[in-house]
Amino acid sequence: MIDHMLLLYSQILPLLLLISIVLFSIILGTLTSLTGMIYNGLFRNGKRDGYGRTTDSDGRLVYEGHFVNDVAGTHVGRVDEYGRRMGPGRVTYADGTSFEGEFVGDIENGKGKCMAVCSITMMTMVVMMVMMVMMMVMSILT
């Protein structure tokens, strides 16, 4: 009896996986980079998308959370049974950019607030000021 169940399970599992790929374009898998980083989590259309976990070659946790179109970020809000963001929420990506608004099927949808991070260093500010002063002096001299 158990042998028949295992045989049936081994025949049905690939079919269920194929159906989930076709219907949702979502699969659970593992990606190992050339540098030894290991990602375990959800993929959509061949990219990290949804909940996942990345560890370095020594097994230390590097990032755990949401990925959107291969970009790491954190999400506060509801998710469905597949880990897709839904309803009102906020996502903050690894670069600091964030979106607050509605999500449908793990995608930002409709109106919301998007915040971008501007990382101008103090040295950049000094260089810009010096260039402005030089341009003012040049315009006075000519």
What averages of pLDDT result for each successive group of 10 residues across the chain (142 residues)? 57 62 68 90 83 88 78 78 82 78 85 74 62 74 71
Contact 88, 77 (CB under 8 A): yes
Query: What pLDDT is recorded for position 35?
Result: 86
Q: For residue 18, which amino acid is it? A: L
User: What is the residue extent of each domain of the chain?
Assistant: 30-141
Radius of gyration of the chain (CA): 24
CA 64, 66, 70 angle in degrees (round to 5)?
105
Query: What pLDDT is recorded for position 23?
Result: 52
Query: What pLDDT is recorded for position 33?
Result: 87
